[in-house]
Amino acid sequence: MAVSGSTDTGDRLRTITGLSAGGAAVAAGLCWTVKAVAILTTGHQPTILFELAPLLMAIAVLGLGQQLPPGKPRIVASSVATAALLASLGVLAGQVMPLPEVVYGIAIASANLLILVSLVTAGLSLRHHRNSYLPLGLGLTTIPALLIGGLAAEVLGERALELPLAALGATWVVLGVQLSLGRYQNS
């Protein structure tokens, strides 16, 4: 009976983790998408959305890491996601207190790179799972998509950078829905 009870508790914990991570991923994706659409339509960036997204993404990838089977990939993905979470707190700290520009830049770059490493690690760990391509693809395509957006911004104007950001935001929403539905549980 104790074994069954602990299994039920483990299943509930994985469900709660998946729902929390999924909600965070959806919220992060909406932050990026709403920010991008607002800049495309008005030319003005909404307050805090860009800075809040890395924290939500870090929570999402931490939850994704916990959905992986026990082993090194789970430890690596979760550890890197935890580091991303700490770096993203530095990004938010820059919104409530003055930080040197270089410190803020390092915090946001570190948070985002660590999130991508965690996504790739999780995606590679899930490579035999039917849903592995979304975290892996998101982790591998974010930087090239933003580089293409940067090139487009040079030709079409600064707002063009928001086009890939909106697409990436929508992808985070899809990842969040998959996490919420338990698509990565017991992988």
How far is Cα of residue 150 from the mean position of the Cα atoms in its chain?
20
The position carrying tokens 């909600």 is 23
Token pair in block for residue 168? 């990436």
Query: What's the pLDDT at 98?
Result: 85
**Confidence label for 1 from pLDDT (cuts 50, 70 and 90):** very low
Query: What's the pLDDT at 162?
Result: 94
| Residue pair 135/64 in contact by the 8 Å Cβ criterion | yes
The count of other CB atoms within 10 Å of the CB of residue 171 is 21
H helical segments located in 45-132: 49-67, 72-96, 101-125
Percentage of the chain modeled with pLDDT above 90: 65
Query: What's the pLDDT at 127?
Result: 81
Of the given ranges (29-43, 62-76, 77-91, 119-133), which has the lowest mean pLDDT? Answer: 119-133
Which backbone phi and psi does 129 adopt, to 5 degrees?
Answer: -95, 145
State the pTM of this model: 0.89
- Per-residue pLDDT for 2 more than 60? no
Q: Once rounded to an integer, what is the mean pLDDT over residues 159-186? A: 91
Q: Once rounded to an integer, what is the mean pLDDT over residues 114-140? A: 89
Of the given ranges (3-12, 46-55, 133-142, 144-153), which has the lowest mean pLDDT? Answer: 3-12
Cα torsion 154, 158, 160, 166: sign: positive
Triad 135, 41, 156: Cα angle to 5°: 80
The position carrying tokens 């017991």 is 186
| Residue pair 111/82 in contact by the 8 Å Cβ criterion | no
Token pair in block for residue 107? 């915090």
3-state DSSP assignment of residue 164: helix
| Residue pair 138/120 in contact by the 8 Å Cβ criterion | no
3-state DSSP assignment of residue 132: coil
